[in-house]
Amino acid sequence: MAEKYFKIDGISEFAKEVALKELDETPENVTNGLRELKRLLELETNINVPLDNELWLMNFLRFCKFNPESAKQKIFRYLNLKKSLNFAESFQYDDANLPKAKGMFGGLKQRDKLGRRVMIIRIEQWDPKILDKYLVLNITYPTLNLLRLEPDTQVNGWIYILDCKGLTYTHVLAMTPRFIKTMIDFILHFLPIRVRGYHIVNNPFFFQPIFKLAKQFLPEESRSLIMMHGKNMSELHRYIAPECLPECYGGTAEDAELPLEETYSVVKKYENTLKHFLECEIKDT
């Protein structure tokens, strides 16, 4: 059962320590932060947000280290991107397209030693002729929102492994500047989760132009989080312990991954919670 690998209710002791040390999360700051953020949002008449959903508000407060004004600005950026990226109506279970994305996107069952979720994207499993590149974002959206519900993920964040094995020129041609910017906006600016690292493995020489283009859209602090390991898995192990990695990355964990189709079953269980979590928009004027 995939559900046992997700924890929506409560926060671990490890995450509590991280929240206190890195986010200044104290009972007083939580109380004051929630009260002030609600007050700031109530003054905005052109938005519809779930003010009674403290988990939703805490997601933004944790992301902004309990600065209510910064959290409000992040919410507005989130709402604007939600509208411009056309994700307002995209919370759907795209079961029809799941087989086309099989093996492309998933996560590790075990968090890394710093409590972070580890997400894996495999280019080899994506055929741009069969699955539209923008549909890839739609398919992953419900699962990533499920992770947003986890207090431990809100605090510790997540890291990405981008596996470029099987990268072809067809993939390169699909990576237009517009799509790369949309993907970066989606991962970095839209989802209010702390991205703690990007680990690129099995990258061929012709991946470099894509990387060079992507860097143009990345803020300086995000560029420093990108590590390119090629086929050197021992270098990857400096950041992610082999104990939680599958064998294909030099790991020792058996049955290490949660495929996208399995996480969808958990998403469906939390359907009502997630829909409420996503009930927010900028009103048309």
What HEC string does 148-171 produce? HCCHHHHHHCEEEEEECCCCCHHH
Neighbours of 66 (CB within 10 A): 23
Note down the domain range covering 30.
Answer: 1-285
pLDDT tens string 147-197: 999 999 999 999 999 999 999 999 999 999 999 998 898 888 888 999 999
pLDDT tens string 70-121: 999 999 999 988 888 775 555 455 677 788 888 999 999 999 999 999 999 9
- Please choose, from the candidates 201, 213, 100, the residue with its C-alpha nearest in 3D space to the C-alpha of residue 160: 201
Kindly report the pTM of this predicted structure.
Answer: 0.91
What amino acid occupies position 258? L
pLDDT above 90: residue 267: no
Which tokens is 153 given?
A: 């993920």
Indicate the number of domains in the chain: 1
93 vs 234, more confident: 234
What is the per-residue pLDDT for 73? Answer: 96
Which tokens is 280 given?
A: 């927010």
- Please choose, from the candidates 71, 73, 179, the residue with its C-alpha nearest in 3D space to the C-alpha of residue 135: 179
Distance separating alpha carbons of residues 56 and 276, to the nearest angstrom: 9
Based on the number of CB atoms within 10 Å of its own CB, is 248 exposed (0-12), middle (13-18) or buried (19 or more)? middle
**Which CATH number fits the domain that encloses residue 77?**
3.40.525.10
What is the per-residue pLDDT for 39? Answer: 97
Distance separating alpha carbons of residues 249 and 231, to the nearest angstrom: 9
Neighbours of 160 (CB within 10 A): 19
Distance separating alpha carbons of residues 257 and 173, to the nearest angstrom: 29
Q: Using the 8-state DSSP alphabet, how is residue 114 labeled? A: T
